[in-house]
Amino acid sequence: MSTKVFERPRALSDVIFHYCPGCTHGIIHRLVAEAIDELGVQDKTIGVASVGCSVLAYNYFNVDFQQAAHGRAPAVATGIKRSLPDRIVFTYQGDGDLASIGTAEIVHAAMRGEKITVIFVNNAIYGMTGGQMAPTTLVGQSTTTSPGGRRPERAGRPIRMSEMLSQLEGAAYIARVSMHNAAQVARAKQAIKKAFQTQVDGKGFAMVEVLSTCPTNWGMTPNEALEWLEENMVPVYPLGEFKTEPGLPGPSAVGATTPTREVKTE
């Protein structure tokens, strides 16, 4: 008699990903789905897809989903969570979305201590639009808008979102993990689950930054890309948990403040 030892997470839909060969989005999707399954929250989870390669995430997760404008996923998630405070709300954003056009939204969602979970996939480049420089692009890394390599005097230096956001009191859990080998993937899984657990426990804003590859736009094979990630990105983006203490109490749940009373109009 055979025993099933591996199966598709229930929170992942049975469809084929559109991602390029060697892209690590697929692994990260699976880790998120496993966390949702293990916490038993699939039926009350609402995801928010961003703009970038993962724009079609709503096709891949077997949960309710909203697609947000570029960079605005944390604002959309805020609107959902404040309207339905007992649901689990997560965003899935890339580095162009979160660290460039959506910097205001992510900083202020963390500042308010929104009880949402953010999966931040950092591959140091704009993937969907064809390999342009991202704020996370490494110094010297060649992209279509930093030909010959990112030059700090022209385009500044990489932005470290996890370090920045961990300074905010509303952030309850901030970690950076990587996809460059199986051991790191296992650690990423633990961090992602913790980020969802933080929300289940109502502690505050949680974000996991996942260092990821883009073999297509980096111009590498999948294996070369994983090696490049480990050798070049990890030194710039150190791995680990930046914040594990629960932050200050986040915004109170809808309806949990003062009782209803009649309007007073003088």
Partner 1 sequence: MAEQILMKGNEAIAEAAVRAGCRFFAGYPITPQNEIPEYMARRLWEVGGAFIQAESEVSAVNMVYGAAGAGARAMTSSSSPGISLKQEGISYMAGAELPALVVNMVRAGPGLGGIQPAQGDYFQATKGGGHGDYRMVVFVPASVQEAIDLVGEAFEIAERYRNPVMILGDAVLGQMMEPVTLPEPVDLSKIPQKTWATTGTGGARTPNVINSLYLDAELCEKHNFKLQEKYRQMAEREVRFEELNVDDADIILTAYGTSARVAVSAMKRARAEGLKVGMIRPITAWPFPYEPFRKASERVKAFLDVEMSAGQMIEDVRLAVQDRAPIFFYNRMGGMVPTPKAVLEEIRKIEGSLERDGLGGRLRA
Residues of the shown chain interacting with partner 1 in the complex, contacts defined by CB under 8 A: 42-46, 48-49, 55-56, 58, 61-69, 72, 75-80, 82-84, 87-88, 104-105, 107-108, 112, 251, 254-255, 257-261, 263, 265
The CB-of-101 to partner 1 minimum distance in angstroms stands at 10
Q: Smallest gap, in angstroms, from Cβ of residue 89 to partner 1?
A: 9
Whichever of 61 and 237 has its CB closer to partner 1, that residue is: 61
Instruction: Give the residue with the Cβ less far from partner 1, 4 or 261.
Output: 261
What does the alpha-carbon distance between residue 85 and residue 255 come to, in Å, rounded to a whole number? 9
What 183-186 contacts at long range (C-beta under 8 Å, 24+ apart), as own/partner pairs, is 184/239, 185/27, 185/31
As measured in angstroms, the least distance from the Cβ of 61 to partner 1 is 8
Q: Reduced to 3 states, what is the DSSP secondary structure of residue 228?
A: helix
Nearest to 225 by CA among 131, 96, 156: 131
Q: Which is nearer to partner 1, 68 or 98 (CB)?
A: 68
Q: Least Å distance between CB 153 and partner 1?
A: 30
**Minimum gap (Å) between residue 154 Cβ and partner 1:** 28
Q: List alpha helices for 129-205, DSSP H.
A: 152-155, 161-165, 182-200
SS3 208: strand
What length is written for the chain?
266
Q: Are 240 and 178 in contact (CB under 8 A)?
A: no
Which of residues 28 and 88 has its CB atom nearest to partner 1 in the complex? 88
Pick the closer one to partner 1 by CB: 158 or 204. Answer: 204
Nearer to partner 1, 3 or 260 (CB): 260
**CB of 69: closest distance to partner 1 in angstroms?**
5
Residue 251 in contact with residue 114, Cβ under 8 Å? yes
Q: How far is the CB of 123 from partner 1 (least distance, A)?
A: 21
Q: What tokens were used for 106?
A: 């992510």
Tell which residue, 195, 183, 53, 220, has the closest CA to residue 114: 195
Pick the closer one to partner 1 by CB: 108 or 187.
Answer: 108
CA end-to-end span of the chain: 78
Supply the minimum distance, in Å, between the C-beta of residue 248 and partner 1.
17
CB 210 within 8 A of CB 121: yes
Pairing of strands 171-178, 240-243: antiparallel
Distance from C-alpha of 199 to C-alpha of 221, rounded to nearest angstrom: 37
Smaller CB separation from partner 1, 40 or 147: 40
